[in-house]
């Protein structure tokens, strides 16, 4: 592949911007600043000699300067496709494609020559896809818009039209004057007063012809060693400017063009809004709000506020999409472009984010520090053996496992140990351990925030669910309903389910029949009341104990047969109370001896349900007590 060199003279600095090419220039600059990110492809069309090549070359120069590592290829379509065909004939098609795949910016001039060349079009589609698949930018020029290129493949047409199509018109009079002056200056010549204006008044067909006229004037100045006056210009140009006046329509068009340019330039507010619409449409955002402002008419003083507000909302939408993507790269919400690209639906986008946040929130893990080895329950107990068997073959043997027994006889600890064991083999964060009351409270909170879908999806990704204290769900409606559906969903996926309660399912009051029968459908096992020191567990200090700081945790000892502690730990965790969360694992001293933990002070004070934690007007009460 031997692409053309970029002409060093053609940069943005040397391009004279006027009404006829302002839009194309703005688009070109944007593309050059961030190739592949905005208008891709950028399709520039115009009649010959109006600056297409200058503009796309300037894109190449600027992009190279901004991104030095960018591989820029500039070529004419004919040359480029000739290289492709040569590679195919030499049997190096794949090698060529891999070379092309590295291109970060492909600039193809004169793509109108694609007309009717089916094989070339086919190859171009492949090259195109190879480049754009890696985020590469494509810039094209043509003497006509894509739909006017004869026999253009529909796939190419849709690719050409997928970015921004912009034209360059004939420059108006003022721009022509500016071009003549700029070019004379670049060549180190000065023009007599009125010469540039006289040149600009002549009806040249395009800028190239205008430059030809300037060249003649400068040649006369050089050869004759004198300045050419404005009056001499028509004579020096001879036939150059004549003859064209015969074309009435072209002449009419030129005169009307400058009037249209004035009209467009004069309407600054509309222009500002239109540019904003074009920009954000190009970036794939809905611009209904700006269009409404355009139609209804906003004043000069309001327009900036409207656009700033719109852009702030777009920025927030970007943040939302970014956060969703970070939380869950495959989140189905990411395809909701109708919401995530519509600043008028920001509230809905926030709701989507809320759902994803809820769904991806870590599941409540089993409390730390509980293992089967450290349980002081006899390993021969049927309930313990069943739990261990369930842990060894999750979802296979006893599913669901239902353990019932008195509240303080180690039921929660046993379930926590089961959870700990399941967690060893399951992916991180997929074992949920939750108290019945906590489950119901979470649901109510999700309902309040209108995030039930996220809450539901969060639990449904569990590989194991352990729900203790089913008793707390008695009499609830929605919580039981949700638990029923969660049970069904998880059971279908083979997730291990375990439940704890004070009584067997048939004795639980206020439980829906369909839920009761499912709780009974696996293994229902009793954890009998403790007898002496056998019934209970001891807990060694877990890593979590390092964080035990709360007064409640200090000195708290998990008593034999204590189930409440675990429950409280879970509940306290749910509340975000670190002291409570670590209480269960905070007894290092006793356990180091390897002895069964003797019954210590009952940590009743940790129970958030029974203790009033926040005293209103505590000072007054203290004074009152003191008195």
Partner 1 sequence: MSLVNYSAREITCKIVYYGPGRSGKTTNLQYVHSRVPEGRKGQMVSLATETDRTLFFDYLPLDLGSISGFRTRLQLYTVPGQVYYNATRKLVLRGADGVVFVADSQREQMEENLESLRNLQENLLEEGYDIREMPIVLQYNKRDLPGVVPVEEMEDLLNFRGLPSCTASAVTGEGVFDTLRQISELVLKSLSRKFQQPISPPPHRTSGP
Q: Which is nearer to partner 1, 22 or 451 (CB)?
A: 22
Whether the CB-CB separation of 209 and 240 falls below 8 Å is answered with yes
Q: Does 249 bind partner 1 (CB under 8 A)?
A: yes
Specify the DSSP element, H or E, that contains 107: strand 105-109
The interface region with partner 1, picked from 29-37, 289-297, 498-506, 510-518 by CB under 8 A, is 289-297
Out of 44, 131, 236, 269, the only residue in the binding site for partner 1 (CB under 8 A) is 269
Closest approach of partner 1 to the CB of residue 169, in Å: 5
Of the candidates 30, 173, 46, 189, the one whose C-alpha atom is nearest the C-alpha of residue 111 is: 46
Out of 7, 270, 533, 534, the only residue in the binding site for partner 1 (CB under 8 A) is 270
Closest approach of partner 1 to the CB of residue 282, in Å: 13
Place of tokens 């009125």: 194
Q: Does 251 bind partner 1 (CB under 8 A)?
A: yes
Q: Which is nearer to partner 1, 45 or 128 (CB)?
A: 45
Q: Which is nearer to partner 1, 260 or 596 (CB)?
A: 260
Instruction: Identify residues 521-560 at the interface with partner 1 (CB under 8 A).
Output: none
Specify the DSSP element, H or E, that contains 434: strand 431-435
Which whole-number Å values give the CA distances from 202 to 198, 231, 254, 399, 425, in the listed order? 7, 12, 11, 92, 85
Whether the CB-CB separation of 404 and 500 falls below 8 Å is answered with yes
Cβ atoms within 10 Å of 85's Cβ, excluding its own: 15
Rounded CA-CA distance 341/284 in Å is: 7
Of the candidates 486, 468, 476, the one whose C-alpha atom is nearest the C-alpha of residue 509 is: 476
Q: Does 274 bind partner 1 (CB under 8 A)?
A: yes
Cβ atoms within 10 Å of 179's Cβ, excluding its own: 22
CA 536, 541, 546, 551 dihedral sign is positive
Residue 496 DSSP symbol: E
Site string for partner 1, 11-30 (x = CB under 8 A): --------xx-xxx------
Q: Does 169 bind partner 1 (CB under 8 A)?
A: yes
Closest approach of partner 1 to the CB of residue 271, in Å: 8
Q: Which residues contact 604 (CB under 8 A, 6 or more apart)?
A: 564, 610, 611
β-strand 431-435 against 105-109: which pairing, if any?
A: unpaired
Q: Does 178 bind partner 1 (CB under 8 A)?
A: no
Rounded CA-CA distance 524/505 in Å is: 8
Out of 71, 93, 201, 271, the only residue in the binding site for partner 1 (CB under 8 A) is 271
Closest approach of partner 1 to the CB of residue 16, in Å: 15
Q: Which is nearer to partner 1, 287 or 559 (CB)?
A: 287
Q: Does 298 bind partner 1 (CB under 8 A)?
A: yes
β-strand 431-435 against 464-468: which pairing, if any?
A: parallel
Q: Does 48 bind partner 1 (CB under 8 A)?
A: no
Out of 267, 425, 517, 531, the only residue in the binding site for partner 1 (CB under 8 A) is 267
Q: Which is nearer to partner 1, 303 or 464 (CB)?
A: 303
Closest approach of partner 1 to the CB of residue 139, in Å: 18
Cβ atoms within 10 Å of 406's Cβ, excluding its own: 17
Instruction: Identify residues 144-163 at the interface with partner 1 (CB under 8 A).
Output: 148
The interface region with partner 1, picked from 198-206, 229-237, 288-296, 495-503 by CB under 8 A, is 288-296
Chain residues that interact with partner 1, rule: CB under 8 A:
19-20, 22-24, 148, 166-167, 169, 248-249, 251-253, 255-257, 259-267, 269-271, 273-274, 277-278, 287, 291, 294-299
């Amino acid at each position: 592949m031997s692409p053309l060199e970029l002409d060093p003279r053609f940069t943005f600095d040397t391009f004279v911007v006027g009404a006829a090419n302002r839009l194309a220039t703005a688009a070109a600059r944007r593309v050059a600043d961030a190739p592949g990110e905005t208008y891709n492809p950028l399709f520039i069309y115009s009649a010959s000699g109006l600056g297409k090549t200058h503009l796309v070359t300037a894109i190449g120069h600027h992009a190279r300067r901004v991104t030095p590592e960018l591989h820029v290829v500039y070529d004419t379509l004919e040359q480029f496709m000739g290289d492709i065909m040569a590679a195919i004939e030499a049997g190096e098609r794949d090698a060529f494609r891999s070379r092309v795949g590295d291109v970060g910016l492909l600039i193809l001039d004169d793509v109108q020559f694609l007309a009717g060349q089916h094989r070339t079009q086919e190859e171009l589609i492949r090259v195109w896809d190879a480049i754009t698949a890696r985020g590469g930018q494509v810039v094209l020029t043509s003497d006509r818009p894509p739909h006017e290129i004869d026999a253009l493949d529909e796939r190419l047409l849709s690719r050409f039209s997928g970015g921004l199509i912009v034209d360059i018109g004939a420059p108006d009079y003022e721009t022509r004057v500016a071009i003549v002056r700029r070019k004379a200056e670049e060549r180190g010549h000065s023009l007599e007063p009125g010469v540039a204006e006289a040149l600009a008044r002549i009806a040249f067909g395009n800028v190239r012809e205008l430059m030809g006229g300037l060249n003649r004037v400068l040649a006369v100045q050089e050869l004759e060693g004198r300045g050419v006056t404005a009056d001499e210009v028509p004579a020096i140009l001879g036939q150059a400017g004549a003859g064209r006046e015969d074309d009435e329509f072209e002449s009419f068009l030129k005169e009307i063009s400058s009037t249209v340019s004035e009209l467009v330039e004069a309407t600054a507010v509309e222009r500002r809004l239109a540019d904003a619409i074009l920009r954000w449409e190009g970036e794939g955002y809905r611009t209904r709000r700006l269009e409404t402002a355009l139609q209804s008419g906003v004043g000069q003083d309001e327009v900036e506020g409207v656009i700033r507000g719109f852009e702030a909302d777009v920025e927030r939408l970007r943040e939302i999409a970014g956060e969703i993507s970070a939380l869950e790269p495959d989140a189905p919400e990411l395809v909701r472009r109708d919401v995530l690209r519509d600043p008028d639906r920001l509230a809905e986008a926030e709701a989507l984010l809320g759902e994803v946040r809820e769904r991806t929130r870590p599941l409540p893990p089993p409390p730390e520090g509980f293992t089967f080895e450290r349980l002081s329950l006899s390993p021969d107990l049927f309930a313990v053996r069943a739990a261990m068997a369930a842990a060894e073959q999750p979802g296979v043997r006893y599913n669901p496992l239902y353990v019932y027994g008195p509240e303080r006889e180690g039921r929660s600890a046993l379930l926590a140990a089961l959870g700990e064991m399941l967690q060893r083999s399951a992916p991180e964060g997929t074992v949920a351990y939750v108290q019945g009351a906590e489950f119901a409270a979470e649901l109510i909170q999700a309902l309040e925030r209108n995030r039930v879908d996220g809450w539901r999806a969060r639990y449904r990704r569990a590989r194991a669910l352990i729900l203790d204290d089913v008793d707390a769900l008695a009499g609830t409606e929605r919580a039981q309903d949700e638990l029923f559906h969660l049970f069904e969903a998880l059971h279908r996926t083979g997730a291990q389910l375990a439940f704890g309660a004070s009584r067997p399912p048939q004795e639980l009051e206020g439980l829906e029949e369909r839920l009761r029968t499912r709780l009974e459908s696996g293994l229902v096992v009793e954890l009998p009341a403790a007898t002496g020191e056998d019934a209970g567990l001891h807990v060694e200090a877990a890593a979590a104990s390092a964080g035990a700081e709360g007064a409640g945790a200090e000195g708290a000892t998990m008593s034999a047969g204590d189930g409440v502690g675990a429950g409280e730990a879970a509940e306290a965790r749910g509340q975000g109370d670190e002291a409570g969360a670590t209480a269960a694992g905070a007894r290092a001293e006793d356990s180091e001896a390897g002895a069964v933990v003797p019954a210590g002070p009952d940590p009743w004070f940790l129970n958030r349900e029974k203790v009033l934690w926040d005293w209103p007007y505590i000072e007054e009460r203290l004074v009152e007590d003191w008195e």
